[in-house]
């Protein structure tokens, strides 16, 4: 189906892949924020995951191990943030910003030796005859396993927060850490686990950029994807199902700009490139207005430090 020179089927299939890095990072950050911790270091965790995943995949020849390496690197950086903010009670906002700068600098240092190197390819899954279904086959059954993994993580996160006892405890910690502590729950342990999970997903998202989306290592290749992931969590009002909508909206704008260029529309490339970020700002402004009129807001304890003696 072609409308205005744009292949709609290709557009939808492309946006699913383009959305995967921010969808993974936003899902992980949502879990961290539901526990009451604001981690602004998503960009740093993604870029560390990108270089660690790339280096692991190139060194081992296995893209799967590359994603594992990216997850471990992202989780390690998140645990560093957790120790600083939950044990030493450093300011979460300042520490998150420092984490991003640290990740960007460290990745640039370790990535120098991998510039111009090609990673092993990540194969697409085979669905047999399903892939040949007109339209739907291209949209739903033509992706690599990470795309489906990202969708599964959204569904599992939704079910975890809504139906499990552990999810209830995590949400309780995010709403009132003092009350959760009074009930005997280990607030710091819960928050550290949530942060590690968020860091691991951000690392996988970063590895997807360097192993699949580009695929190569380029300094600063996340290009603000971590900040978009943070914005998507706010856009989603801290609900997993809305994170999927927000990520696919961002991915759709990204894919659309490529389709518009390919179709020959006379739109300056700089305007197309900044469109996803402008849209994000507009959405956040609109949401700030709706939040003032009673729309769902953040977890009550978000950004507040916890001390057992408080």
Q: Which of 169-173, 187-191, 274-278, 292-296 has the lowest mean pLDDT?
A: 292-296
At 295 the pLDDT is 55
> Is 223 part of a structural domain of the chain?
yes
Which one of 68-77, 131-140, 234-243, 250-259 scores highest in mean pLDDT? 68-77
Residue 171 lies in a domain: yes
Residue 304 belongs to some domain of the structure: no
The neighbour count for residue 187, using CB atoms within 10 Å, is: 24
Q: What is the domain-level CATH number for residue 58?
A: 1.10.3470
Residue 41 has pLDDT above 80, yes or no: yes
Residue 300 in any domain: the answer is: no
Task: Return the pLDDT at 1.
Answer: 63
Using one digit for the tens of pLDDT, what is the confidence trace for 62-110?
Answer: 999 999 999 999 999 999 999 999 999 999 999 999 999 999 999 999 9
From 207, 168, 279, 163, select the one nearest 24 (Cα to Cα): 207
In a domain, 273, yes or no: yes
13 compared with 169, residue with greater pLDDT = 169
Q: What is the mean pLDDT of residues 277-287?
A: 73
For residue 206, pLDDT over 90 is answered with yes
Q: Is residue 308, in this structure, part of any structural domain at all?
A: no
In a domain, 139, yes or no: yes
User: How many domains does the chain contain in total?
Assistant: 1
Domain extent, residue 51, equals 2-292
Report yes or no on 299 lying in a domain.
no
Mean pLDDT of the chain: 89
Q: Compute the average pLDDT of residues 282-286.
A: 73
Range 47-67 average pLDDT: 97
Tell me how far CA of residue 205 lies from CA of 7, 102, 267, in angstroms.
Answer: 27, 18, 30
Nearest to 36 by CA among 307, 303, 310: 303
């Amino acid at each position: 189906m072609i409308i205005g020179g744009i292949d709609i089927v290709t557009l939808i299939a492309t946006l699913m892949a383009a959305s995967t890095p921010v969808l993974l990072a936003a899902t992980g950050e949502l879990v961290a924020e539901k526990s009451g911790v604001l981690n602004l270091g998503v960009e740093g965790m993604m870029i560390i995951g990108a270089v660690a995943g790339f280096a692991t995949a190139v060194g081992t020849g296995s893209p799967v191990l590359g994603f594992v390496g990216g997850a471990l690197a992202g989780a390690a950086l998140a645990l560093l943030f957790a120790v600083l903010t939950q044990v030493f009670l450093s300011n979460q906002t300042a520490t998150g910003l420092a984490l991003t700068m640290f990740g960007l600098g460290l990745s640039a240092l370790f990535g120098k030796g991998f510039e111009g190197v090609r990673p092993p390819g990540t194969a697409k899954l085979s669905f047999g005859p399903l892939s040949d279904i007109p339209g739907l086959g291209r949209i739903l059954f033509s992706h690599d396993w990470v795309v489906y993994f990202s969708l599964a993580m959204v569904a599992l996160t939704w079910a975890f927060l809504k139906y499990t006892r552990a999810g209830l405890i995590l949400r309780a910690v995010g709403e009132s850490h003092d009350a959760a502590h009074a009930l005997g729950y280990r607030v710091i342990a819960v928050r550290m686990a949530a942060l590690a999970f968020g860091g691991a997903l951000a690392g996988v998202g970063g590895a997807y950029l360097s192993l699949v989306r580009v695929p190569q290592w380029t300094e600063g290749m996340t290009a603000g994807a971590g900040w978009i992931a943070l914005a998507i969590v706010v856009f989603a009002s801290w609900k997993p199902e809305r994170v999927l909508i927000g990520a696919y909206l961002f991915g759709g704008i990204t894919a659309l700009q490529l389709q518009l260029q390919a179709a020959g529309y006379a739109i300056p490339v700089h305007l197309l490139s900044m469109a996803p970020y402008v849209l994000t700002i507009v959405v956040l402004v609109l949401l700030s207005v709706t939040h003032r009129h009673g729309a769902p807001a953040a977890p009550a304890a978000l950004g507040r430090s916890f001390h057992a003696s408080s």
